[in-house]
Each structure stands twice: as structure tokens, then as C-alpha cells.
A and B are shown apart, each in its own frame.
Chain A
């Protein structure tokens, strides 16, 4: 499981300004992932928004530093260039037989925007924002995703559109003062 996050916005409330941290951040499910949001103004917030993927300016071949994790996320030039926004691979049971699936998402039009409304208050001390990606939701909300007919998404704009919609509902967060 690999993906990028970017454009994290803490939505200010009651006079608190919005706080944007652009990223991007490469996330790999094989290990814990933490990133620094810098100095967040104390105050009340209505929630957050975050994008899964890369903004168009960075979704171009060789736009990211040539680190190994980025070159392995490259979206091939003959398929438009840029980067995979997400690689989610595994196996599912099809008629009792383990079968592979590869949910790959990319292309500018499939940048996933997530709006997460949940009030929280940031104090003057350090805090943490725990972002959770619920993988079950990738396959069920708002579209029921049928792996038996769509176990590979990368070559299909329609399948990637389903993933984009579903991933927008797949995140939750918790603010830990």
C-alpha cells in the first residue's frame, strides 16, 4: 500500500485562519508514517481537508526528487507520465481461490479530495493529528466495487473514477492534543 497525500488544510473556525500544509508526503503501509505540520495557530477548527495524490504541477514525469520510492511510483510516459497517486495491492478470494488485485490510481482528474468535518481545538502545546485510511471503504462507498470484474484499475478510466470517489470517503482523523 503506497500513496501520496498533499494539500492538508486545517479549516479555521471562529476567527482562526485556515492552515495549509502543501506536502506532498509519500506514505507506505509497510511502516509507520509521520510528517510535520509545522507551527499550527492555536484556536478552533471545523475539520480538515486533504488530497490523496499529487497536484498537477507535481504530477509530471521526474517532477519529484529522484528518490527510490518516487521512481517506483512513476506513471509511465506512454500512459501520460506523472506518478501513481496510489498503489493498493493484495489478494481476494474468487470462487475460493486467492486472486490478485491491484488498485492503482493516477491522472490529474483522479486527484482525490477528502473533506473531513470534525471540530477540534488546537492549544499552544504540541499536538498530533492521526489520519486513518480505512481500506474497506475503497471498495464500498459510494460505489460497490466488484473485484471479480475489475481487479486491475490502472488501464481503466471508469474503474479509477470509482476508486477516486470511494477514496474520498475512506479517511477519518482524530486530533490528539
Chain B
């Protein structure tokens, strides 16, 4: 018995060695779908925070290029109720990737937000109902907003090859569409305004811009608490006193949290390129920066959920700025325009 057991043991060992030496013919065949995508390094100032880039969706040249094409291609909506529309239908580069018209019926008359520096954002849309990552937002945009039929891309003469180069796979799937678009949105980086150059000691502000800068970043204007440097947004939600009664879309963040203290609170929009993104506020109620500054100076309304920051020393809610101060503040806001961002051909339509 002992000897049979020993032989059996030897046989098993021999088979294992043999199996280990076998070569898998399939393993020698190159993967016809593989492609070494080129890593892309996002360019931004050292004083910017670290962007939010998921480990499973690193930015690549090919992924960004695919996302760019999808952004500008009406094919994205061809099977849904928004047929004929692309992201770029409402997000024009010359307006920092927003639209100058107040409200778009498809999204319920809310003002279109700028696609600028979203690599640093964590909650999206005016009420923060999308997110927390850009991939999550793209899932909403692709599957619910545009209702993309991915078969349209699979059967397209060019897209499958673009997906192969971006992701090293012959598959075209909704998650890959969303990843490519998320990469593209992260690419939309604005960090070369006059104000940026001022911060780097490369360019001086005019006297009026300088006075506006002082107003912006002191209690006199008190803009900085919500529009904090360098992104010019705190990524937070605030009721700034636009209304005292809230209904419909005016409830803002409350629609997501159900917290009465979030009534009338909306996402802080970035002020980068703000001179190009009129109209203003979640409902586009203000047409000019002057109107916006007038509101902060004298028009805020009380409500129980009014953001504490809006209550000024002495419990008032108005800044009472002079005409000169308002003009200076507007002059400073114009220094946040990034001409390179709105003219960069790498961000323009590939079609």
C-alpha cells in the first residue's frame, strides 16, 4: 500500500510539472484590441488643489480625444428626446462652455452652468444632485439626459477604433463612454486669467481692478468665503438671499437633502470666466455683472435658511457699496476671464 501511494504521488507531481511546461497557444497571440494609451498630465498651478481623478480612469490623450468628440457629436442624443443635440449645443467655448440664453427648456429653465475646472468639483448641478464624481455625472448625462443607444457608437465606422485606442478594448460600452467624457471634462481647465498672472507676479492689476480685488477678498465685499481661491468656488451650497419664499426648483439643495436649512441653497458657481457666462444665478435672473453686484449690495432677502455669511456685521444683510466700489468689483471680476481657455483649439470642436 505504501508503495502504491508513493507512485501515485510521483505521478501527480509529474503531471503537474508537465502541465506547467505546456504553452498556451492563445497566450502567444497578441491581443488585437490592446493599445498603449498615452498618459496625459493635467496642467494647473501649484496652488490649485489636487484634482479628483479616479484610479480606474486615468487621463490619457486618446481618452480625452474620444471624450472631446463625444462632447461635440449630436450622435450622443440620436436615440433620445433631445435628438440632434450634443453637449456643445448648450456649452459654447466662447462663453466658457455655457450658453448666453437664460434657461434651456430641456432642463427646466435652470441656468446652464459653465464646464470649467470640474476636475476639482465633487457635487454637480445647481442642487448637487449629480455626483459625487464626474463619472457619476456622465452616467446621468449619457444614460438619462441624452439616453444614448450605445449601439449607435458600436456600429459607427470610426468610434470603435477610437474606443480601442482610448481603453485598449474592442468593446464599446456605456461605462466607457462615461469614462471618456469624464476625462474630457477634466481637461477643461482654466488657470490663465489676468488674475492668475497677477498672482504669479507676471502682470499688474489696474487701479480699479486692484481696488476690486481688495473688496473681493475682505469683509467689505465678502465674496471670498464662497468664491474662494484659486477655483473661485468652495464647492459648497449657499442660500444667498435671492428669495424669501421657495418653491419648485427654487428650493435648491433642499430637494436633495430634505434639510430645511438647505432651502434656497444652490451650488457656488466658479467665478472664473464669469464675464463670459451671463446670465447669472441658478435661474438666470440677472443679465449683467452690474445687476449681480447691485443685488449683493442692496437686494438680499431674509429667510430662516439665509446663509450665515450673508448676514453682515450688525445683522444687516446688505453691503451698501458705493457706485465706485461696485464698478471696481466688476472690474476685478473681468480679470477672471481666461482668453486662452475660450480660444484654445485643443478644446474646440473636432468636426
Residues of A within 8 A of B (CB): 62, 66-68, 70-72, 74, 76-79, 89-91, 94, 97-102, 148-152, 154-156
Contact = CB atoms under 8 A, between A and B. Distances in A.
B311 A100 contact: yes
Contacts of B46: 66
A71 B199 CA distance: 15
Nearest to B122: A68
Given A71-B228, A78-B217, A151-B311, 17 more contacts: A66-B46, A66-B48, A66-B50, A72-B235, A76-B217, A76-B224, A77-B217, A89-B309, A94-B315, A98-B304, A98-B306, A99-B311, A100-B309, A100-B310, A100-B311, A151-B308, A155-B313
Contacts of A156: 313
Contact of B311 (A71, A78, A152, A154): A152
A66 B315 CA distance: 33
B130 to A, nearest CB: 18
Given A66-B47, A66-B48, A79-B217, A74 B228 contact: yes
Contacts of A148: 315
A71 B304 contact: no
B308 A101 contact: yes
Interface in B208-243: 213-214, 217-219, 224-225, 228-231, 234-236
- Interface residues of A: mostly helix, strand, loop or mixed? mixed
B307 interface: yes
Contacts of B219: 79, 152, 154-155
B54 to A, nearest CB: 16
Interface string B297-311: 000001011111111
A62 B48 CA distance: 10
A74 B48 CA distance: 13
Contacts of B236: 72
Nearest to B312: A152
Nearest to A103: B308
Contacts of A101: 308, 311
Given A68-B49, A71-B230, A78 B315 contact: no
B120 interface: yes
B100 to A, nearest CB: 30
* Chain B contact patch, size range: 35 or more
Interface in B101-138: 120, 122
A25 B217 CA distance: 25
Contact of B213 (A67, A78, A98, A155): A78
A134 to B, nearest CB: 20
B308 A76 contact: no
Nearest to B213: A78
Nearest to B236: A72
B311 A66 contact: no
The 8 closest A-B pairs by CB, nearest first: A100-B308, A100-B311, A76-B217, A155-B219, A89-B308, A98-B304, A152-B313, A78-B217
Contacts of A149: 314
Contacts of A154: 219
A72 B307 CA distance: 16
Contacts of A94: 315
A66 B231 CA distance: 11
Nearest to B120: A68
A67 B49 CA distance: 5
Contacts of A67: 49-50
A77 B47 CA distance: 14
A41 to B, nearest CB: 35
A135 B288 CA distance: 42
Nearest to B313: A152
A72 to B, nearest CB: 5
Interface string B23-65: 0000000000000000000000011111000000000000000
A78 B229 CA distance: 13
Contact of A102 (B47, B50, B302, B308): B308
